Amino acid sequence: MASSSIPAGGHSDPTRRDFLMVATGALAGVGAAATAWPFINNLNPAADTLALSTIEVNVTPIQVGQAVTVKWRGKPVFIRHRTPEEIKEAEAVPLSALPDPQTDNARVTDTAKKVRPEWLIMIGVCTHLGCVPLGNKPGDPKGEYGGWFCPCHGSSYDTSGRIRKGPAPKNLVVPEYLFTSDSLVRIG
């Protein structure tokens, strides 16, 4: 009869060598993961960056017709409490008159889809070359359309932050935001 590799007991019992090979492989895998983890974790955003990813702003002190500028992710964000006249003026503009057609309601809807036309929240960076448009403070020029004016190249934005005249190709960007209460808005 030919000899077989099965021991006399009739089945293949794991040997001490098999156990040591499996244990060594498992230990090597755990060691590789423990060594790689600090490098992988280093790719996550820093705590200070995460803290700035969202901000909450109390809008109660902002009077009708007034605007404030807050800083979010290193950029100015304009928060304007619009007057009923500004809202009517923005809604009356035909889309065909806009270089970047977008309705007023589309710009002032928060992420929970609660339309609040009295609040306009947008990133205050001109879409042409990244300048900061004027128009948030008394005495600032507001351009021909009563909104914001970028003096660097003459871009004029209306009361909804939409480009109306000048070289800017797009409207001022509306960040993701959510009214968490009647007085608090979370941006980001």
Domain boundaries, the chain: 15-44, 50-187
Residues in the chain: 188
Please provide the CATH number assigned to the domain covering 50-187. Answer: 2.102.10.10
Enter the tokens of residue 50: 């995460």
Q: What is the set of active-site residues?
A: 153
Q: Is the pLDDT of residue 52 over 70?
A: no
Q: What is the mean pLDDT of the chain?
A: 82
What's the pTM value of the predicted model, to 2 decimals? 0.69
What pLDDT, in 10s, does the model give residues 56-69?
A: 999 999 999 888 99
The per-residue pLDDT for 110 is: 53
Q: Quick one: what percent of the chain has pLDDT higher than 70?
A: 84
Average pLDDT over residues 134-160: 80
- DSSP code string of 133-183: -B-SSTTS--TTTEEEEETTTTEEEETTS-EEESS--SPPPPPPEEESSSS
The CA distance from 14 to 18, in Å, is: 6
pLDDT of residue 73: 85
Whether residue 87 is predicted with pLDDT greater than 80 in this model: the reply is yes
CA 51, distance to chain mean position in Å, is 13
Q: How far is CA 56 from CA 35, 76, 149, 170, in A?
A: 38, 14, 27, 26
Lowest-pLDDT choice from 97-101, 110-114, 150-154: 110-114
